[in-house]
Amino acid sequence: MSDFSHLNDKGQATMVDVGGKQATYRTATARSIVSLPQQVLEKLIEGDMQTKKGSVFQTAIIAGIMAAKKTGDLIPLCHPIGMDNCNINIQLNEQQEVVIDCTASITAKTGIEMEALVGASVAALTVYDMCKALSHDIVIKETKLIEKTGGKRDFKRA
């Protein structure tokens, strides 16, 4: 059990004590991919689809940033941290899927990857919400960490 940072020696959930750590500059980028059925995709290809709720991509960007800022409230053992920056980029890839990248940064004693993952995830959920009136055959295929720097070790997905 000691391999899991959020479990104490008795196997009980605990917050990681970062009190003695030095603050370092940290960045993280996470990606979510959303697969849309053709009838929804055609609307997006015409431009940033406007719905009764507003612009699909702009609403997803705002929702993702708002969610990233609330990660400490949503994930029980995450430290509540402020972010120095958070950017969300949304585009279509060669397979005509919606690719959502969330990059967050901070100078702190603990990481920023959970904020990036939450931001990308909620942006993807918002695309689903904004497009579900056209079809429920929308699939959020994956959410994954692409890269992180700072802290104990850097990571970059090959």
User: Could you list the active site residues?
Assistant: 129
Rounded Cα distance, 137 and 81, in Å: 36
Rounded Cα distance, 28 and 155, in Å: 9
- Cα dist from 42 to 38, 48, 115, 140, 152, whole Å: 6, 11, 31, 18, 44
Q: What backbone phi and psi angles, to 5 degrees, belong to 156? A: -145, 120
Tell me how far apart the 2 most distant CA atoms of the chain are, in Å: 56
